[in-house]
């Protein structure tokens, strides 16, 4: 420290400034005292003035900081650190626009000023500029890379050049496989390529090497979330929040994970706190709308979606969510706004897709079926282009399943698996009445509804490669103990979904029809319900729906027809080799003969009849699927034959369905 009132050599002054600067992080109060002492000796020293201002800001007095920084920035307009402190202090005073201006100036003067990029991202997020914030955070990650060997890869990643970034990082990791920073960057590349399982593997290794690496832990939790492993992600998110409770990224991920585990009250509470802090964030209003819809607060959901659109009129998902809510048709003004947005050359592909779906629904609601179909087809075409879906994969899987799952195969394994009777699986195709069946069953006092659980698919996928085999053939290698263990694993994985403690719970993942044989082997006493609907009704309803994830087969009429045909073929096979194992509910029969079909359903599940199952629409449980509003009303016939209005355009679907178009009930 330079003694007050004493002449100071340049060397001593530099040392004092360096010491004061080093104190800013751990002890800003001491840094303030040091800077004040330096200024008594060297009143004009800009470095000491900057340290003093930074100390004031860190100690919660941004007004005092600005009193120093405004003239300092005027005197030294090309000093990047001064511009950063000016931006940070303006941000602390709630002067968002001025903060963004100063922070942009800081990073333009020094592109490697990592803290300025992070502060800029925070301010852009607060101002409602989500894409701008993402770009700033990407630059922040790049600027934090200090290893020269990783600089080029970080540059590629920040610029979105994923292929060269991946090549550089693979080369680096071959030589240094335990470099946690490189593992984190490679996981980021894989995540952007939607290879979340591979990213998870790398990040698990990174955390084993460095458990205190918060960036790797956040990325790991995010990778788990993207694979529907929310229950596994939550402990990591909670750990991060304990360290940094105000982190927007951590709180957003918390809300997303809680949504997957069905804890919508906490989702709404978390989003409320975020919106109080960031009321200009359209994406959070959108997420809040989804949560409010799930718990049946329809008008509040509408308000949230409308608020999102006020902030971002191009936000296609908000318009699609409004249209899908079915509370009221989109207005002529909404249609005009959508048309205006669709004419924008800079409209993001996902916004364009959602706007096309929304416009299709608006036209359908007023009977303009040709225009509705054209918009649905345009939206589905956009989505299909982005998906690497191969319809031959399911056809091959069905053939291999039929060859593996024979009567003798199951007879040889009779008595294997977990004896638990808890689960009720509802399988089939989306838009075939599975949500209605779930709502009916969940209105019984012994049954808890959950949502579409991904656990069976994840577990089946995890068997691939075990001992060099593939699924489902690999099941041959599992003995009774292994099958029982897998059944218990499923019960453990899904326990977080069971909040009411009822005897039975429902897993209504439609795609689980593929895994009927697997389910029977590991949980032979679980009930399996096949929800089936007329192929043109089910397939067209799926075609005009944008699913949040999965269901890649649903964006092309030919793909849909093949998928439905393969599904029926596989279920016919299970009817033959496991007679009576699967209970089929025909949606049209459920609508026409509701009480009789409900009694049949309850009998199959071993449940006594309860009148509440007839009044399922009065059940106030959270419903997360696109059918949430329909199951909150009594059964109605209007939607049964809706596909007939679109029959002139369904030729490719009919052709692909083949014989399933006629014998869909029995195969």
- φ, ψ for residue 425, nearest 5 deg: -95, 130
- CATH code: domain of residue 110: 1.25.40.10
| Alpha-carbon dihedral 208, 210, 214, 219, rounded to 10 degrees | -40
- What 3-state DSSP class applies to 529? strand
**322 in Cβ contact with 302 (< 8 Å):** yes
| 349 located within any domain | no
Assign 3-class secondary structure to 27-73: CHHHHHHHHHHHHHHCCCCHHHHHHHHHHHHHCCCHHHHHHHHHHHH
- What 3-state DSSP class applies to 666? coil
**308 in Cβ contact with 289 (< 8 Å):** yes
- What 3-state DSSP class applies to 531? strand
Task: Kindly report the number of other CB atoms within 10 A of residue 276's CB atom.
Answer: 8
Report pLDDT for 445. 94
Report pLDDT for 5. 46
- What 3-state DSSP class applies to 586? strand
The overall average pLDDT reported for the chain is: 92
- φ, ψ for residue 609, nearest 5 deg: -65, 140
Mean pLDDT, residues 383-403: 95
Report pLDDT for 623. 54
Measured CA to CA in angstroms, residue 94 lies from 122, 127, 277, 526 at distances of 12, 11, 11, 57
Report pLDDT for 633. 56
- CATH code: domain of residue 405: 3.40.50.300
363 pLDDT tier (thresholds 50, 70, 90): very high
End position of a domain, from candidates 162, 191, 220: 191
| 603 located within any domain | yes
Which helix (H) or strand (E) is 94 found in, with range?
none
| 122 located within any domain | yes
Report pLDDT for 325. 85
First to last CA, the chain: 88
The tens digit of pLDDT for each residue in 19-37 reads 999 999 999 999 999 999 9
Instruction: Report d(CA 449, CA 546) in Å as an integer.
Output: 23
| 596 located within any domain | yes
| 292 located within any domain | no
Instruction: Report d(CA 251, CA 409) in Å as an integer.
Output: 48
Is 542 a residue whose pLDDT tops 80?
A: yes
The tens digit of pLDDT for each residue in 158-199 reads 999 999 999 999 999 999 999 999 999 999 999 999 899 999
Tell me how many domains the chain contains. Answer: 2
| 468 located within any domain | yes
Is 631 a residue whose pLDDT tops 70?
A: no
- Provide the edge-to-edge strand list for the sheet that holds 447-448: 447-448, 504-507, 423-428, 527-532, 582-586
The tens digit of pLDDT for each residue in 188-236 reads 999 999 899 999 999 999 999 999 999 999 999 999 999 889 989 999 9
End position of a domain, from candidates 173, 191, 209: 191
CA-only gyration radius of the chain, Å: 29
**For the chain, counts of helices (H) and of strands (E):** 34, 5
Mean pLDDT, residues 282-295: 94
Report pLDDT for 54. 95
Mean pLDDT, residues 378-396: 94
Instruction: Report d(CA 349, CA 361) in Å as an integer.
Output: 19
For the chain, what's the residue count? Answer: 667
Instruction: Report d(CA 667, CA 574) in Å as an integer.
Output: 11
Measured CA to CA in angstroms, residue 628 lies from 151, 454, 619, 623, 624 at distances of 48, 19, 11, 5, 6
Report pLDDT for 102. 97
Measured CA to CA in angstroms, residue 315 lies from 117, 309, 332, 361 at distances of 26, 6, 18, 16
Mean pLDDT, residues 76-102: 95
Mean pLDDT, residues 272-295: 94
End position of a domain, from candidates 191, 218, 253: 191
DSSP symbol at 130 = H
- What 3-state DSSP class applies to 518? helix
**512 in Cβ contact with 457 (< 8 Å):** yes
The tens digit of pLDDT for each residue in 416-467 reads 999 999 999 999 999 898 989 999 999 999 999 988 898 999 899 888 655 5
What domain range includes position 177?
A: 10-191
Is 632 a residue whose pLDDT tops 60?
A: no
| 208 located within any domain | no
Is 339 a residue whose pLDDT tops 80?
A: yes
Mean pLDDT, residues 115-133: 92
| 202 located within any domain | no
**506 in Cβ contact with 424 (< 8 Å):** yes
| Alpha-carbon dihedral 349, 320, 552, 656, rounded to 10 degrees | -110
């Amino acid at each position: 420290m330079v003694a007050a009132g004493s002449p100071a050599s340049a060397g001593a002054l530099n040392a004092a400034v360096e010491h004061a600067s080093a104190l800013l992080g751990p002890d800003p109060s001491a840094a303030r005292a040091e800077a004040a002492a330096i200024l008594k000796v060297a009143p004009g020293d800009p470095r000491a003035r900057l340290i003093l201002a930074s100390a004031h800001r860190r100690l919660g007095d941004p007004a005092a900081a600005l009193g120093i920084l405004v003239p300092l920035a005027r005197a030294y307009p090309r000093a990047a650190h001064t511009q950063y402190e000016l931006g940070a202090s303006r941000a602390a005073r709630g002067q968002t626009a001025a903060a963004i201006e100063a922070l942009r100036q800081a990073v333009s003067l020094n592109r490697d000023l990592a803290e300025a990029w992070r502060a800029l991202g925070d301010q852009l997020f607060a101002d409602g500029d989500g894409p701008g914030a993402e770009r700033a955070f990407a630059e922040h990650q790049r600027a934090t890379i200090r290893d020269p060997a990783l600089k080029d890869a970080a540059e590629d990643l920040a610029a979105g050049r994923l292929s060269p970034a991946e090549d550089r990082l693979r080369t680096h990791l071959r030589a240094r496989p335990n470099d946690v920073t490189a593992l984190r960057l490679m996981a980021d590349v894989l995540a952007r390529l939607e290879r979340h399982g591979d990213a998870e593997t790398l990040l698990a290794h990174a955390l084993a090497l460095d458990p205190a690496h918060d960036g790797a832990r956040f990325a790991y939790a995010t990778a788990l979330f993207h694979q529907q492993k929310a229950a596994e992600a939550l402990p990591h998110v909670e750990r991060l929040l304990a360290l940094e409770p105000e982190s927007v990224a951590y709180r957003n991920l918390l809300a997303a994970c809680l949504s997957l585990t069905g804890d919508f009250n906490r989702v709404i509470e978390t989003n409320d706190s975020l919106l109080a802090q960031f009321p200009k964030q359209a994406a959070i209003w959108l997420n809040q709308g989804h949560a409010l819809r799930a718990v049946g607060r329809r008008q509040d959901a509408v308000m949230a979606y409308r608020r999102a659109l006020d902030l971002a009129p191009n936000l296609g998902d908000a318009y699609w969510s409004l249209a899908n809510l079915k509370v009221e048709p989109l207005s002529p003004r909404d249609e005009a706004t959508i048309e205006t947005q669709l004419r924008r050359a800079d409209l993001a592909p996902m916004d364009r897709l959602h706007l096309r779906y929304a416009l299709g629904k608006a036209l359908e609601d007023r009977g303009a079926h040709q225009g509705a179909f054209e918009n649905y087809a345009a939206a589905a075409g956009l989505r299909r282009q982005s998906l690497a879906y191969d319809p031959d994969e399911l056809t091959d899987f069905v053939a291999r399943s039929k060859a593996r799952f024979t009567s003798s195969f199951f007879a040889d394994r009779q008595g294997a698996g977990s004896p638990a009777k808890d689960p009720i699986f509802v399988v089939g195709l989306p838009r075939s009445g599975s949500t209605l069946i779930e709502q009916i069953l969940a209105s019984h006092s012994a049954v808890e509804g959950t949502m579409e659980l991904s656990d069976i698919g994840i577990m089946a996928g995890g068997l691939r490669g075990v001992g060099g085999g593939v699924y489902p053939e690999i099941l041959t290698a599992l003995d009774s103990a292994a099958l029982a263990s897998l059944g218990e694993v499923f019960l453990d994985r899904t326990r977080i979904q069971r909040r009411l403690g009822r005897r039975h719970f429902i897993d209504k993942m439609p795609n689980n029809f593929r895994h009927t044989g697997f389910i029977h082997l590991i949980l032979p006493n679980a009930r399996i319900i096949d929800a089936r609907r007329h192929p043109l009704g089910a397939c067209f309803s799926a075609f005009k729906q944008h699913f949040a994830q999965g269901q890649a087969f649903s964006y092309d009429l030919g793909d849909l027809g093949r998928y439905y045909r393969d599904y029926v073929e596989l279920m016919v096979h299970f009817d033959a080799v496991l007679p009576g194992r699967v209970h089929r509910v025909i949606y049209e029969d459920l609508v026409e003969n509701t009480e009789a079909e409900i009694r049949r359903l309850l009998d199959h599940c071993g449940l006594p009849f309860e009148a509440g199952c007839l009044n399922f629409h009065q059940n106030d449980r959270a419903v997360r699927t696109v059918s949430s509003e329909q199951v909150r009303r009594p059964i109605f016939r209007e939607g049964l034959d809706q596909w007939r209005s679109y029959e002139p355009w369904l030729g490719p679907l009919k052709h692909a369905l083949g014989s399933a178009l006629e014998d869909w009930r029995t195969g």
